[in-house]
Amino acid sequence: MAPSAGGNRRFGSAREHLAEEPCVSGPGATAVFLDRDGTLNVKPPEGDYVRSAEAFKWLPGAAQGAAALSHAGFALFVVSNQRGVARGLVDEATLAAIEVSIQAGLDPLSARVEAFRYCRHDLGDGCDCRKPAPGMILNLAHEHRLNLKRSWMIGDARSDVAAGSAAGCRTALVGEPGQSFDDAIVPDVVTTSLLLASEQIVSRLGTDTVR
Active site residues: 35, 37
Terminal CA-to-CA distance of the chain, rounded, Å? 33
How many residues line the site for Mg ion (CB under 5 A)?
A: 5
Member of 119, 162, 163, 195 binding Zn ion (CB under 5 A)? 119
Member of 35, 99, 128, 188 binding Mg ion (CB under 5 A)? 35
Find which of Zn ion, Mg ion, none residue 50 binds, CB within 5 to 8 Å per kind: none
Site string for Zn ion, 170-189 (x = CB under 5 A): --------------------
Member of 23, 24, 38, 78 binding Mg ion (CB under 5 A)? 38
Residue 23: closest CA among 173, 152, 131, 140 = 140
Q: CB of residue 35 vs Mg ion: minimum separation in angstroms?
A: 4
Torsion sign, CA atoms 127, 142, 108, 71:
positive
Q: CB of residue 81 vs Mg ion: minimum separation in angstroms?
A: 8
Dist. CA 85–CA 4, nearest whole Å = 25
Find which of Zn ion, Mg ion, none residue 121 binds, CB within 5 to 8 Å per kind: Zn ion
Find which of Mg ion, Zn ion, none residue 35 binds, CB within 5 to 8 Å per kind: Mg ion
Q: Where does 58-178 show beta strands of DSSP type E? A: 75-81, 113-119, 152-155, 170-174
Say whether residue 204 binds Zn ion (CB under 5 A).
no
Q: Which helix (H) or strand (E) holds 104?
A: helix 92-106
Q: Which stretch binds Zn ion (CB under 5 A): 28-36, 111-119, 155-163, 166-174?
A: 111-119
Q: Can you give 113-125 as a three-state secondary structure string? A: EEEEEEECCCHHH
**Distant-in-sequence, close-in-space partners of 1: CB < 8 Å, separation ≥ 6:** 14
Say whether residue 63 binds Zn ion (CB under 5 A).
no
Dist. CA 170–CA 210, nearest whole Å = 10
Identity at 162, one-letter amino acid code = A
With beta carbons less than 8 A apart as the criterion, state whether 105 and 58 touch.
yes
Find which of Zn ion, Mg ion, none residue 38 binds, CB within 5 to 8 Å per kind: Mg ion
Find which of Mg ion, Zn ion, none residue 187 binds, CB within 5 to 8 Å per kind: none
Q: Which stretch binds Zn ion (CB under 5 A): 89-97, 114-122, 162-170, 174-182?
A: 114-122
Give the residues lining the site for Mg ion (CB under 5 A). 35, 37-38, 156-157
